[in-house]
Amino acid sequence: MSDVSFTRSEVRPAYRKAADETPLVKAVLVLLVVAVLAVLLFAPLLAVFAEALADGLGASLAALSQPEARSAIWLTLAVTGVAVPMNAIFGIAAAWTITKFDFRGKALLLTLIDLPFSVSPVVAGLCLVLLLGANSSLGGWLVASGVPVIFALPGIILATMFVTFPFVARELVPVMIEQGKAEEEAALTLGAGGWRVFRTVTLPNIRWALLYGVLLCNARAMGEFGAVAVVSGKIRGETATMPITIEMMYNEYLSVAAFSMAALLALLALVTLVLKSLLEWRYADQLSASARH
Amino acid sequence: MMRPVVNKSPMPGFGLGMGITLTLLSLVVLLPIAALLVKGAGLGLAGLWAVASGERVVASLALSFRLSLIAALFNLVFGVLLAWVLSRYRFPGRRLLDAAVDLPFALPTAVAGIALTALYAPNGVFGSLAKTFGARIAYTEWGILIALIFVGLPFVTRTVQPVVEEIEREVEEASATLGASRLYTLRRVIMPMLAPAALTGFALALARSVGEYGSVIFIAGNIPMKTEIAPLLIVIRLEEFDYNGAAAIGIAMLTISFTLLLAINAVQVWTRRRIGYV
């Protein structure tokens, strides 16, 4: 035995080889990963832009300036303009309550916040229809009082909020646990009031994590399809968001129009990814562990 | 002595924070889910079973869960490999690849759906390629599978990656010094460390695939009994104003999903107990 190890040390293989794959294995694995991602991720992305520009940039811009397309863009902006800030407020409130206090049922609360991740968006929409649709007692009353929720803007906002509900809270909770509450307690001892502590101590500490959560929440909110499809009723020019309009145009074989709007959302996705990577790269220490890589 | 419901704390804002949290949680998530459960209770077990055991419903549920399991298994294996390559190897374009992994999170599902259909339809780039081999991808189960793999792709990678980065090289070196081959080290030292995180990612990918709608319906062809997924059947029932039918399928989906997630959770506890926390 000692003989073998002696010869080995004489041959002296490159340092660290023992805990590393050979260059050939590495090259094969890298190529494999690149090939699979090229087919699965990059090809669809390219396809969106290729199809959108099939008749030239002019045609696709013209398609986007149609009244139907413009009202869809405005509706999507309006929905996210309400849903995302609401979920940000929820996320901050939930993270503050969960990380700064000790109370019974905390684990249950965390589970309930995560619940929308394991519920299908279509089932989420179904739940809202059953609760607030015109043939439920609550929904019937709402329609009678002139505020229909289902097949109207409030329903779309609620559906969007449901599917994006955990995003901000999930990002903030781990960050705020890690930061602890010593700084806030110090500020309190020095006589600062609650709001002042939050504004001047907590908020600066969590701002990048908050932005990160809002970014992901926004991307999902603008693109949500399943839940919105169920509650929107797909009324042209009224309750058709951008993804719903894509579906309607696609089913009418308006390929350029559908893919032009899809390209707009794909651009949004790319901007989201760039900003997300910048945040991860620049402020890694201020994001939750799952966001650092 | 009983633990108090809330431990006294000088920190302000408990009432306000808890108030906002519980109000929004109830209005947006809990009440709607309760409405579904109440509807289900109104139907009774027999009523639920009558709908959920219908031929078309069983076919769609079986299709959804079978393809989601296959897609999640693919993503489990490929996701671990991807996490390993991205955090261990250095090669040009690695940062770009790393950022691109999140594309399925950022790209709206309807966009992914029509893009995949454009590629895999018989006149698309990959579809026509498959046609020369006499195969069809879009409007068959293969198309659905590709869409489900797409939406579930990032989960395992993102849960496993931080763990790979935390692994201390010394552990692998110790294993190598003791005479283990590289493969043996990977199998007996590295894999057990990655298993819990990989299972978490697997469960997330599975839950996401089962409920996926937008990216699937375009490529699926939606032929009843063949390529009709369960979420689509819910939408069809709703369009027919068959609320009982929709609710029963929804409850069946939730029940199967949660049972699967519980089972995965149990496996996770078992692996943790076997190998300890890492």
Digit-coded pLDDT (tens) for A40-66: 999 999 999 999 999 999 999 999 999
Instruction: Report CB contact under 8 Å: B114, A36.
Output: no
What's the whole-number mean pLDDT along residues A259-284?
94
Query: What mean pLDDT value characterizes chain B?
Result: 92
Packing angle, helices A43-52 and A255-282, rounded to 10 = 140
Q: How many CB atoms lie within 10 A of CB A52?
A: 25
Cβ within 8 Å, pair B169-A181:
no
Coil, helix or strand for A103? strand
Concatenate the DSSP letters of all residues of B102-143 into one string.
THHHHS-HHHHHHHHHHHHSTTSHHHHHHHHTT---TTSHHH
Contact A124 B165 (CB under 8 A): no
User: How many other CB atoms are found less than 10 A from the CB of residue B177?
Assistant: 12
Q: Are A245 and A225 in contact (CB under 8 A)?
A: no
Per-residue confidence (pLDDT) for residue A1, from 0 to 100: 41
Contacts of A259 in chain B (CB under 8 A): 114, 118
Domains of chain B: 42-277 (1.10.3720.10)
Residues in chain A: 293
Name residues whose C-beta falls within 8 Å of residue A275's C-beta, 6 or more positions apart in sequence: A215
DSSP string, A261-272: HHHHHHHHHHHH
| A133·B243 Cβ contact <8 A | yes
Looking at CA atoms only, how far is residue A102 from chain B in angstroms?
5
ipTM: 0.91
Residues in chain A closer than 8 A to B115 (CB atoms): 44-45, 47-48, 51, 262
Question: Is A184 strand, coil or helix?
Answer: helix
C-alpha closest to that of B201 among B29, B78, B65: B78
Find all residues with CB under 8 Å of A122, minimum gap 6, and list them.
A226, A227, A229, A230, B211, B213, B231, B232, B234, B235, B250
A244 — phi, psi (to 5°)? -65, -40
Q: Which residue is closest to A38 within chain B, CA to CA?
A: B97
Q: Nearest chain A Cα to B206, which residue?
A: A118
| pLDDT tens for each residue of B206-240 | 999 999 999 999 999 899 999 999 999 999 999 99
Q: 């002019």: which residue's tokens?
A: A58
What is the pLDDT at residue B278?
A: 47
Backbone phi and psi for residue A65, each to the nearest 5 degrees, phi listed first = -95, 5
Among the partner residues A47, A109, A242, nearest to B115 by beta-carbon distance: A47
Q: Give me the residue from B13, B119, B159 closest to A96, CB to CB.
A: B13
Q: Which of A90, A131, A184 sits opposite B21 (nearest CB)?
A: A90
Contact of B85 with chain A, judged by CB distance below 8 Å, is answered with yes
Q: What is the pTM of this model?
A: 0.91
| Average pLDDT of the residues in A132-144 | 89
Q: What would the pLDDT profile of B29-49 be if each residue is shown by its tens digit? A: 999 999 999 999 999 999 999
Q: Which amino acid is at B94?
A: R
| Segment A14-42 mean pLDDT | 86
Return the C-alpha torsion angle A274, A276, A281, A283, nearest 10. Answer: 140
pLDDT higher than 70, residue B75 = yes
Chain B: closest CA distance from residue A113 (Å):
7
Distance from CA of A44 to the nearest CA of B (A): 5
Chain B residues closer than 8 Å to A289 by CB: 162
Per the CB < 8 A criterion, the answer to whether A256 and A60 are in contact is yes
Both tokens of A142, joined, read 């709402």
pLDDT at A136 over 90: no
Phi, psi of B124, rounded to the nearest 5 degrees? -85, 175
Question: Minimal Cα distance from A227: which residue of B?
Answer: B213
Distance (Å, rounded) from C-alpha A281 to C-alpha A290? Answer: 13
- Kindly state the tokens that stand for B16: 């306000």
In angstroms, rounded to a whole number, what is the distance separating the alpha carbons of residues B17 and B213?
34
Q: CB distance B32–A136 less than 8 Å?
A: no
Does pLDDT of B146 surpass 60? Answer: yes
CA closest to A278 among chain B residues: B99
Q: Residue A228 has which token pair?
A: 């919105």
Does A48 sit within 8 Å of B115, measured CB to CB? yes
**Mean pLDDT value across residues B135-161:** 95
Q: Would you call B211 an interface residue with chain A, using a CB distance cutoff of 8 Å?
A: yes
Query: What is the residue-averaged pLDDT of chain A?
Result: 90
Is residue B201 within 8 A of residue B155, CB to CB? The reply is yes
Angle between helices B230-239 and B243-275 (to 10 degrees): 160
Chain A touched by B87 (CB under 8 Å) = yes
DSSP A116-180: GGGS-HHHHHHHHHHHHSTTSHHHHHHHHTT---TTSHHHHHHHHHHHHTTHHHHHHHHHHHHH-
Residue A238 neighbours by CB distance under 10 Å = 13
Q: Do A117 and B111 touch (CB under 8 A)?
A: no
pLDDT at A220 over 50: yes
Q: How confident is the model at residue B105 (pLDDT cuts 50, 70, 90)?
A: very high
Determine, for residues A246 and B111 on separate chains, whether the beta-carbon distance falls below 8 Å: yes
Closest CA to A128 of B198, B250, B264, B5: B250
**Mean pLDDT within B51-70:** 94
Q: How many CB atoms lie within 10 A of CB B241?
A: 10
**Beta carbon pairs, A and B, within 8 Å:** 301
B204 CB contacts (<8 Å, ≥6 apart)?
A117, B155, B159
- Judged by CB atoms closer than 8 Å, whether chains meet at B106 and A19 is answered as no
Q: Are A273 and B102 contacting, i.e. CB atoms less than 8 angstroms apart?
A: yes
B129 touches chain A (CB under 8 A): no
- Is the per-residue pLDDT at B242 higher than 50? yes
